[in-house]
């Protein structure tokens, strides 16, 4: 759970941080998200399935959301999503 130090906004409890660096993606289970942000779930369910990779995608406010068949929803800042999609942002390798 995240809290904004400036305004005190508390992020809904369902969102979890990325499991690895470079993904810039938060995750939530669809069932938990339905309890705290039903408008996001409703928008995802109305979105069409992509043909190549069967996920549902929607942009709401500053975030892009993707629903996978596993039941997980990914959230990414829309400007990163426009350029990177859901692929991880590769880290730069440094030779010593």
Residue 21 has pLDDT above 80, yes or no: no
The number of beta carbons lying within 10 Å of the beta carbon of residue 19 is: 8
- The structural domains of the chain, with segments of one domain joined by +, span 27-83
* Reported pTM: 0.83
Do the Cβ atoms of 40 and 60 come closer than 8 Å?
yes
pLDDT at 22: 62
The rounded distance, in Å, linking the Cα atoms of 78 and 9 is 20
Average pLDDT, the chain: 87
Least confident of 15-19, 48-52, 63-67: 15-19
CA distances from 4 to 8, 11, 34, 75, 78 (A): 5, 8, 23, 18, 19
Residue 63 · residue 26 · CB < 8 Å: no
Average pLDDT of the segment spanning 75-89: 89
């Amino acid at each position: 759970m995240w809290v904004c130090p400036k305004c005190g906004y508390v992020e809904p409890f369902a969102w979890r941080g990325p499991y690895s660096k470079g993904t810039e993606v938060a995750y939530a289970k669809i069932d938990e998200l339905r309890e705290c942000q039903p408008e996001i779930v409703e928008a995802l369910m109305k979105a069409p399935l992509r043909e190549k990779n069967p996920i549902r995608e929607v942009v709401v406010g500053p975030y892009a959301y993707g629903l996978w068949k596993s039941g997980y929803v990914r959230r990414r800042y829309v400007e990163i999503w426009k350029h990177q999609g859901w692929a991880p942002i590769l880290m730069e390798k440094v030779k010593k």
